[in-house]
Structure formats: C-alpha cells, structure tokens
Amino acid sequence: MPKITFISHEGEKRQVEAENGISVMENAVKNNIPGIDADCGGACACATCHVYVDEAWREKVGKRAEMEEDMLDFAFDVRENSRLSCQIEVRDELDGLIVRTPEKQF
Amino acid sequence: MSEPPKNNSNGAGAADVIRTDAVIIGAGPVGLFAVFELGLLDVRAHLIDILDKPGGQCAELYPEKPIYDIPGIPVISGQALTDRLMKQIAPFGAEFHYGEIVTALENIRDGLWRVETSEGKIFEAPVVVIAAGGGSFQPKKPPIPRIEDYEGTSVFYAVRKMEAFRGRHVLVCGGGDSALDWTLSLAPVAASLSLMHRRDSFRAAPASVGKMRALVKAGAIKFYQGQPVALHGGGGLLESVEAKGSDGNFRVACDILLPFFGLTMKLGPVADWGINLRENLIPVDTEKFETDRAGLFAIGDINTYPGKLKLILSGFHEAALMAQRAFRYVHPDKKLVFQYTTSSSSLQKKLGVSLKGTRGEGI
Ligand SMILES: Cc1cc2nc3c(=O)[nH]c(=O)nc-3n(C[C@H](O)[C@H](O)[C@H](O)COP(=O)(O)OP(=O)(O)OC[C@H]3O[C@@H](n4cnc5c(N)ncnc54)[C@H](O)[C@@H]3O)c2cc1C
Ligand code: FES
C-alpha cells in the first residue's frame, strides 16, 4: 500500500497507509486528516479539499483537469502546485507522496 | 449579507399577512417534491428560498453532474432533476418566494405558525415544513485578515442597489458569472472599475467575457491577474487591496471590494428558532417526520433520525409521509383516503391529466 504524508499549515506531519483506486481526499477523510473538509464528497464541486503538492511529486501527480481548474477559482491562495485532492487517484506510483494542506479551506 | 428584517410585526395590518396551508422553507429537491405530495392532498404551499432559483444543492452545486440513484431514472443531472420536479409540481400552483431568507419562525397559537422573511414578508399557516437542507446558501467570504472590519462599509458580497457604488472606485474579484455580470453593470456607474481574477480565463458566460475584454481594451476598466491577500485602510474604509500576482505582490487602489467566490451552505437562522437541534440537524420521528412541536416538520438533509441517509430519494419518502400528517392539521374534518395516481380520477383531476391522456406525453 502506498504511503502518503500530509503536512499541515503548522508543519505537523501525518503519514497514512493509503488505499489504491480511491482519491487522496478519500484517504485523508478515512484517516481523519485535519485541514481537508471535502464538503461535496469528492464531486469536484466545492474546492474544500485543496492541497499543495510537494514540488518533487508534481509531475507524477499530473495536471489539473479543466473542471478542477474552474473549481480552484473557489479556493484561497491558489498556487502553481495547487490541486483538489479528490481529483488525484492513488496508485502505486504515488507511494511516498507528500501534500500540504492550506491554512484554511474556504 | 441580507438587510435586517423590517419590523412588521406591530404596525402591519392583517392584510399584509400571507395565509396559506403550508409554508415550505427551502426549495431544494425535497422541498419541491413536498409540494407534490401536499398538493395531492389539497394542501396548498408557499416556498421560500434564499437562492434566486429552485433546486437547492442540485442546482447550485452540481447542475451539470450526473445523479445515478433516483429510482427509475438511470442518470439525470442536478439541473435536469430540478427542471423535471418543477414540471411535476406545476399543477399545484405553489407560490415561490426567491431571494428571501426565513429569519423568524414562531408558534403564535395552537395550530398556527408565523414565518418571517428578510424582505419583511409574513406568512401564517398551520403547517411549516423545514426543508432547509445543509442550510441557507450564503456567499463565501475570502479568509483575508480583518476583512470583517470592512464588511458592510467597503466590502460587499452582494449588490443590492447599484446606486450605492456611483462615483466609487470598485474592485470586483472572481471569474464566474456574478463577477462578470457586476463588472459589466457597474462599469458605467463607478468612478473606476477593476476586475481581479487569479487567471486569465473565466468560467462566466463567453458573451460576458467578450464584453469585459472589449471594455478592458477600450481602457474603460482594468483587469488584474492575481489573488487578494490583504486589505489596507482604516476605520472600515478601504484604500487599497493587496494582491499576489505571478511577479509578487501589488496593490490596487479602491474604496469598494466586491468578492464573488461562489456560495457555501451555512445553517443560518434555523439555529435561532428555538428548535431542538442535534449536531445542527433537526430530530424528527420516522412516522410523520414531525419535530417535537405539532405542525412543524423537517424533511430532507436538515433532519436526523436513526438510520438517516442524506439522499434525495430518502427526502422524497419523508415528504410523502409528512404530507399525510400535514393533511390532518389543514383539513381536520376531512377523511384521508389512500389513492394511487395511476387509478384515482380525483388525483388525476388535481394533476390536470385524464385517464384518456395516459398514453400521451411522459410515458
Ligand atoms: C456534489 C454533490 C453530489 C450529490 N450527489 C447525490 C446523488 O448522487 N444522489 C443523492 O441522492 N444525493 C446526492 N447529493 C445530496 C443531495 O443533493 C441532497 O441530499 C439534496 O440536495 C437535499 O435536498 P434538500 O431539499 O433537503 O436540501 P438542499 O438541496 O440543501 O436545499 C435546501 C434549500 O434551503 C434553502 N434554505 C435553507 N435555510 C433557509 C432559510 N432560512 N431561508 C431560506 N432558504 C433557506 C437553501 O438555500 C437551499 O436552497 C449530492 C450532493 C452534492 C453536494
Ligand atoms: S471534495 Fe469537493 S471539490 Fe474535492
């Protein structure tokens, strides 16, 4: 099972044993990771699952889809490495992934 | 965001009160279907919603996304479901009050409830159905430090009167239809108008985007690519907005900021009505979906009971059972007969269909 590390805005690290085939958001929720609200349950309709993907992982994680890009308009402090974590599917390739949660989901 | 409710409770004459059988708070899918179930039992309804359209979450959050678990409909979008519900309930002539938030709810005497809205409307009915879902839709407030100090003086999340911005230096933030529509409408009114968005593409209708770009080209308005991060000014009066752009921070001088970052659901006034809540939800029984107060019902996402599922189909079922009980409050002397829409000519009359027509449209 791939491991994912979530780092909070305050710098607190939490590593989880992630499940393949479901999203980074769903893995976060299952493991009670704070800082990911996921109000819409993963429908790419709320932008409250915003994360910053660690630079080293950006390429492997891939690019935002168009719908996700639109939805990011509703997030705060969007950066180059911003993604909606419900749109990243976990797979073996992402073993070791590091994402940071923003100060506030909005 | 809404203006304080006007105090109509003393001065207003009885003529101002809208009397009806049932008031439904919330025009989401479940509130809409309640009109149908109540209508079959001759209970007339008024619906109130803060949104300017029906459909609740389906229409506001996911109009184009598919729903796969509506019985008998393998796939339907949030907007299409809303449209079909509107068509289905049309025969009952319910009245809709959009853009109003229910601010107050009280039991004025046994068997009579009073509902008040932000626009000062007053309703009285023996039955009130709370179908408030996840709460009322309210504008998202960007988490910019000290933004609350400027709210209502320099920062507004909705435009009530355009005249209020005449001669002002206005900055609109966002890339959706609200941001673009207000940019276009306020450009001729404001002393100066700027639009800020985090990228150079927009979700808004292409026609509005085209008009906006033409105004920018003509020098009538300014466009900045960036995201607001700080407000500068004092005493509630804004002087400039600091934004983060691709080449670092910059400031835009303005005395009005209009952020349009979409809507979010907040429980809102439901919490103020003295109803017993459990984790922001309204406990009901599972026989009639009534609260612990006679004539006050809660259906859909807003209620809770053992085994509750926040699904549209569950809300529909709740509406049907609620209506059976509501009938007794509204027509205490009439007998309730169980009937099928397929075979009851009296139900078909209410629906405006006749047996002869059953081979027609919609089958
Ligand atoms: C992205 C997403 C996907 C979903 N997919 C499915 C699915 O596939 N299947 C399914 O069954 N469900 C799905 N759901 C859940 C479904 O949308 C909800 O269960 C449903 O919308 C609940 O309907 P409702 O009428 O109870 O409330 P809502 O749809 O939440 O509507 C409530 C309305 O009440 C209004 N309101 C609240 N308080 C006040 C007030 N004080 N004054 C005035 N108006 C007020 C609100 O503005 C709102 O319009 C999904 C939800 C989301 C967000
Ligand atoms: S959970 Fe709502 S957009 Fe990801």
| pLDDT tens, position by position, B211-237 | 999 999 999 999 999 999 999 999 999
| Nearest chain A alpha carbon to B228 | A77
In this prediction, residue B10 carries a pLDDT of: 44
The interface predicted TM-score (ipTM) is: 0.90
Give the distance from residue A74's alpha carbon to the nearest chain B alpha carbon, in angstroms: 5
Looking at every residue in chain B, the average pLDDT score rounds to 93
List the alpha helices (DSSP H) in chain A.
Answer: 24-30, 58-61, 66-71
Comparing CA positions, the residue from B134, B135, B28, B24 lying closest to residue B78 is B28
Q: What whole-number distance in Å separates Cα of residue A75 and Cα of residue B140?
A: 10
Q: What whole-number distance in Å separates Cα of residue B306 and Cα of residue B283?
A: 9
> What one-character DSSP code corresponds to residue B163?
G
For the cut 90, the answer to whether the pLDDT of residue B151 exceeds it is: yes
For the cut 80, the answer to whether the pLDDT of residue B363 exceeds it is: no
Chain B residues with beta carbon closer than 8 angstroms to that of A84? none
For the cut 90, the answer to whether the pLDDT of residue B299 exceeds it is: yes
Comparing CA positions, the residue from B201, B155, B149, B152 lying closest to residue B175 is B201
In this prediction, residue B359 carries a pLDDT of: 53
pLDDT band at B2 (very low <50, low <70, confident <90, very high): very low
- Residue-wise pLDDT for B32-66, tens only, equals 999 999 999 999 999 999 999 999 999 999 999 99
Q: For chain A, give the percent of residues with pLDDT over 90.
A: 93
Under an 8 Å CB criterion, which residues of A touch B?
39-40, 43, 45-46, 69-70, 72-74, 76-78, 103-104, 106
In this prediction, residue B7 carries a pLDDT of: 43
For the cut 60, the answer to whether the pLDDT of residue B15 exceeds it is: no
Q: What whole-number distance in Å separates Cα of residue B150 and Cα of residue A50?
A: 27
Are B171 and B252 in contact by the 8 Å Cβ rule? The answer is: yes
Instruction: Note the CATH architecture for domain B17-137+264-332.
Output: 3-Layer(bba) Sandwich (3.50)
For the cut 70, the answer to whether the pLDDT of residue A106 exceeds it is: yes
Q: For chain B, give the percent of residues with pLDDT over 90.
A: 90
- Residue-wise pLDDT for B102-111, tens only, equals 999 999 999 9
Q: What whole-number distance in Å separates Cα of residue A14 and Cα of residue B303?
A: 34
CB contact under 8 A, B264 and A45: no
pLDDT band at B182 (very low <50, low <70, confident <90, very high): very high
Are A97 and A15 in contact by the 8 Å Cβ rule? The answer is: no
Mean pLDDT of B235-259: 97
C-alpha to C-alpha distances, B59 to A17, A33, B62, B351, nearest whole angstrom:
37, 30, 6, 25
Q: What whole-number distance in Å separates Cα of residue B2 and Cα of residue A31?
A: 38
Domain ranges across chain B: 17-137+264-332, 141-261
Mean pLDDT of B285-295: 97
CB contact under 8 A, B62 and A40: yes
For the cut 90, the answer to whether the pLDDT of residue A93 exceeds it is: yes
Mean pLDDT of B145-156: 96
C-alpha to C-alpha distances, B130 to A52, B95, B104, nearest whole angstrom:
39, 16, 12
Q: For chain B, give the percent of residues with pLDDT over 70.
A: 93
- Residue-wise pLDDT for B187-201, tens only, equals 999 999 999 999 999
Neighbours of B357 (CB within 10 A): 13
pLDDT band at A78 (very low <50, low <70, confident <90, very high): very high
Mean pLDDT of B11-25: 80
pLDDT band at B354 (very low <50, low <70, confident <90, very high): confident
How many Å lie between the centroid of ligand 2 and the Cα of residue B178? 21
Chain A residues with beta carbon closer than 8 angstroms to that of B229? 77
Domain ranges across chain A: 3-100
- Please tell me which of the candidates B61, B176, B198 has its beta carbon nearest to residue A78: B198
Sheet strand arrangement including B222-225: B222-225, B192-197, B169-173, B256-259
pLDDT band at B5 (very low <50, low <70, confident <90, very high): very low
- As given in the structure block, the two tokens for residue B273 are 């009505």
CB contact under 8 A, A74 and B203: no
Residue B198 contacts A where some CB pair is shorter than 8 Å: yes
> What one-character DSSP code corresponds to residue B114?
E
> Is A42 touching ligand 2 by the criterion CB < 6 Å?
yes
> Is B326 touching ligand 1 by the criterion CB < 6 Å?
no
pLDDT band at B160 (very low <50, low <70, confident <90, very high): confident
Neighbours of B160 (CB within 10 A): 10
Lowest mean pLDDT among A45-49, B286-290, B305-309, B358-362: B358-362
In this prediction, residue B11 carries a pLDDT of: 44
| HSE toward the beta carbon, residue B119, CA cutoff 13 A | 13
Instruction: Note the CATH architecture for domain A3-100.
Output: Roll (3.10)
pTM for this structure?
0.86
CB contact under 8 A, B227 and A77: yes
From its phi and psi, is residue B34 left (phi > 0), alpha (psi between -120 and 50) or beta? alpha
Q: Residues A58, A62, A64, A65: what is their CA dihedral angle, to the nearest 10 degrees?
A: 180
Phi, psi for residue A59 in degrees, rounded to 5: -65, -45
For B:126-155, CB contacts with A below 8 A are 140-143
Comparing CA positions, the residue from B260, B317, B313, B305 lying closest to residue B279 is B305
In this prediction, residue A1 carries a pLDDT of: 87
Domains B17-137+264-332 and B141-261 share a fold: yes
> Is B130 touching ligand 1 by the criterion CB < 6 Å?
no
Strand partners, B165: none
For the cut 80, the answer to whether the pLDDT of residue B6 exceeds it is: no
Are B102 and B275 in contact by the 8 Å Cβ rule? The answer is: no
| CATH class of the domain at B141-261 | alpha beta
Mean pLDDT of B136-141: 91
